[in-house]
Structure 1
């Protein structure tokens, strides 16, 4: 028996590859399936089942393409109702993979179809659970995503999750390994650990939601406390996972369509496409195509695209570094953005050498900022997350998280100058590009963000450990 966690940092997502005696199972696969197919061929094993822990909200699973290419059936837990052929397992039903067994444990609460798979080894010993979004390391799945579909309140879903954890998971032996679907950085929980593997016993000791003395009322209150609104694309990803989607191969073929400068400009002018520039923000600010949005590929690219562009049907034109075309398309497809019209042939340099108009972002160093800002008089906008701001911030700075820019942007006076920063410059350049695309020009972005600002002599709030904030 072999178990491999295939972790994708950009999505903070874990897929699982299990093999035993010539057969394999894959749990919660990513959208692009060719790496799995290559691995199956290299290992000389047959894919017997594709297991889904639930209808994912934060990424599009590769279950459909993988099933079509291998013939392996897709398995969901009880109450799931996909609009394609799948095995809807019963609670406690078992599936054999070589010499090992996966047992279905229906664990509703995050969603009503949420299921944990218990792995029994060759001797029948309870070895590991694949807990999906039911149990994370240090946290549990948020119970507010499936309210409409389940016709339940978030309080009722949280109460359901409380019993799933205590009746199905906490009763397992302490040495059972926990393999969750996500780690720190995912929006599917609020307090996840950076660790991606644990045990039942360790989680009983360290996970706030598994306290032995915890009542249902306490659990509901603590799990729901501090939840921020889910990103807008979550519901669209659920729908794609439930109803189906365009083949990844087709999405890649469309996105890899190289457009000349003339073709690119004509498409931009004739459609409502977003020009998505995925270059490093340190390059974007110097020169870029007017009205383009910068979300750098070397960061939490896909989640920010999903959060800020939101509508997965939005047409997109790509500007990226040479050789990054396939990676950009792949990472967009992982969160359901399939309507890619093509990419600029030759990258931004082809636009620049053709003599087309370019734009810039006004950026200054933290040292320059420290010299010119007047604390208490000038407006400073901190776009980091609430927890980052609460931990420490510049005196008199306003907290306006990037995730909510579509809500607060209209509160900004376009005639009043303001400074904008994040932690290191990645997110503030995203914000700067959105602001300029919507006509806001009277602002200055700070290079290096709060990390650099904190090294100047500017007054800051007292530091508070973020774990205490949570």
Structure 2
């Protein structure tokens, strides 16, 4: 048996390809099928199965494409309530792939329809468990993403109780040397305290994961519910998309209209400009929002946090290569159908003034400071006393709350989000100078 972890850093998403005796099973594959097909080809194997732990909220899965193109059987818990053909797996159900056995473990808590999959090797030994969003390295999947969403309506408190029993009645019963392969790592919004490590063992989690340490259910539930981060707008949309099944990525990307010039963009449609902030501030189409796309960032998350599901938008990039990349990144969360047109930036009619850092440092009271970090970040400590906190995901809707009378300085924690935040206020707030503190915020943090 060979296990390959395929990790998408921008989404902090871990998926898996497992090969045995010339057959490949996939667990929670992302929208782009390329790495899974490459793995199968490299091992002279055939993709025969896709195991879905649950309908994911943060990315679009390719399970339907593997079924239609490769004849793979989709295995999922029947509680998901899908609209495609599948083979149901409930607690303790088993299926053999090659020489290994996949055993379903019902592990609700993050969602009410969640399976994990325990793999038994050819000798019947417990080898690895693919835990989806139930058990992470150092954490467990948050319980508040499925309130009012999906096939089953459950409160987050009910889900918290389910997670307590999942941890202590299911995972705690596994052998200590069983490898733990989760669907997410640090940086994912599906948990709140994940380790940077991308895999673990049951024994290590029993010793160090907070969820195993809390033996009292009410205490567990209270700790579990507090301190969760915001929920991006696209999360409920992706849950429903994955229950139905996304269409093949290549065909969907191909249909996105490519424009020849920014002049072809219609008015009153949101524009997402993915260029570096320096280039954006120098020249951009008036009203554009600067959601940067570069290696190591969270473009997909912030696109889906700022743009409502179903809201049409234009996509603007620095060059053709970047444009094609960003169309594909949009498709990873199922947003390619919302792109009204994609275009390489050729000219703009607006620019953004640069903040006089010396004046701001000496006289911060002359400015209205807008802190667009998440509430949990602000609770950990303010960078500027008197700053008004309006988290970035809420900024488009709450721009009217920005006080009048002073120029505005927007900051986040490192400079990435403030590029988007300042461009939102530049579009929505009239009569005020809007400045981006950008990466200079680090200087003030150190101070």
Using structure 1 for the length normalisation, give the TM-score.
Answer: 0.89
User: 304, 310, 315: which is aligned to 2:312?
Assistant: 315
Structure 2 Cα separation of the partners of residues 202 and 366 of structure 1 = 48
Deviation at 1:368, TM superposition (A): 4.8
Q: Which residue of 2 aligns with 1:343?
A: 342
Residues 431-450 of structure 1 mapped to structure 2, 5 A cutoff: 431-440=421-430, 441-450=432-441
Deviation at 1:165, TM superposition (A): 1.5
Deviation at 1:276, TM superposition (A): 1.3
- Deviating more after overlay: 200-209 vs 404-413: 404-413
Q: Which residue of 2 aligns with 1:286?
A: 282
Hey, which bits of structure 1, 4+ residues long, moved more than 4 A?
365-368
Q: Which residue of 2 aligns with 1:452?
A: 443
Structure 1 Cα separation of the partners of residues 356 and 191 of structure 2 = 35
Shift of the 221–402 alpha-carbon distance from structure 1 to 2, 3 Å rule, reads same
String of CA shifts for 1:127-159, please: whole Å, max 9, x gaps: 111100111111111112223243332111110
Deviation at 1:200, TM superposition (A): 1.0
Structure 1 Cα separation of the partners of residues 243 and 359 of structure 2 = 51
Q: Which residue of 2 aligns with 1:468?
A: none
String of CA shifts for 1:362-399, please: whole Å, max 9, x gaps: 2226445313x234x53212222334332451233233
Q: Which residue of 2 aligns with 1:13?
A: 13
Residues 247-396 of structure 1 mapped to structure 2, 5 A cutoff: 247-255=248-256, 257-261=257-261, 264-269=262-267, 272-298=268-294, 299-311=297-309, 313-322=310-319, 323-339=321-337, 340-344=339-343, 347-348=344-345, 350=346, 352=347, 357-364=348-355, 366-371=357-362, 373-375=363-365, 378-389=367-378, 390-391=380-381, 393-396=383-386
Structure 1 Cα separation of the partners of residues 364 and 382 of structure 2 = 19
Deviation at 1:428, TM superposition (A): 0.6
Task: Please tell me whether the aligned partners of residues 40 and 47 of structure 1 are also in contact (alpha carbons under 8 angstroms).
Answer: yes
Structure 2 Cα separation of the partners of residues 198 and 282 of structure 1 = 41
Shift of the 62–449 alpha-carbon distance from structure 1 to 2, 3 Å rule, reads farther
Task: Please tell me whether the aligned partners of residues 49 and 73 of structure 2 are also in contact (alpha carbons under 8 angstroms).
Answer: yes
Deviation at 1:11, TM superposition (A): 0.6
Task: Please tell me whether the aligned partners of residues 407 and 433 of structure 2 are also in contact (alpha carbons under 8 angstroms).
Answer: yes
Deviation at 1:109, TM superposition (A): 1.7
Residues 235-250 of structure 1 mapped to structure 2, 5 A cutoff: 235-250=236-251
Structure 1 Cα separation of the partners of residues 156 and 118 of structure 2 = 26
Alignment partner of 1:428 is 2:418 = yes
Structure 1 Cα separation of the partners of residues 34 and 185 of structure 2 = 24
Q: Which runs of 5+ in 1 are unaligned?
A: 457-470
String of CA shifts for 1:200-250, please: whole Å, max 9, x gaps: 111111111111x52111111110012244222111101110123343122
Shift of the 169–365 alpha-carbon distance from structure 1 to 2, 3 Å rule, reads farther
Q: Which residue of 1 aligns with 2:141?
A: 141
SS of residue matched to 1:79 = helix
Matched positions, count: 439
Structure 2 Cα separation of the partners of residues 447 and 151 of structure 1 = 41
Task: Please tell me whether the aligned partners of residues 254 and 341 of structure 1 are also in contact (alpha carbons under 8 angstroms).
Answer: no
Task: Please tell me whether the aligned partners of residues 2 and 20 of structure 1 are also in contact (alpha carbons under 8 angstroms).
Answer: yes
Residues 32-181 of structure 1 mapped to structure 2, 5 A cutoff: 32-148=32-148, 149=150, 150-181=152-183
Structure 1 Cα separation of the partners of residues 358 and 202 of structure 2 = 49
Q: Which residue of 2 aligns with 1:24?
A: 24
SS of residue matched to 2:325 = helix
Deviation at 1:4, TM superposition (A): 1.1
Shift of the 455–157 alpha-carbon distance from structure 1 to 2, 3 Å rule, reads closer
Structure 2 Cα separation of the partners of residues 152 and 52 of structure 1 = 20
Shift of the 246–97 alpha-carbon distance from structure 1 to 2, 3 Å rule, reads closer
Shift of the 171–78 alpha-carbon distance from structure 1 to 2, 3 Å rule, reads farther
Task: Please tell me whether the aligned partners of residues 423 and 449 of structure 1 are also in contact (alpha carbons under 8 angstroms).
Answer: no
Task: Please tell me whether the aligned partners of residues 399 and 428 of structure 2 are also in contact (alpha carbons under 8 angstroms).
Answer: no
Structure 1 Cα separation of the partners of residues 407 and 385 of structure 2 = 18
Deviation at 1:252, TM superposition (A): 1.2
Q: Which runs of 5+ in 2 are unaligned?
A: none
CA RMSD of aligned residues (A): 1.9
SS of residue matched to 1:220 = helix
Deviation at 1:61, TM superposition (A): 0.7
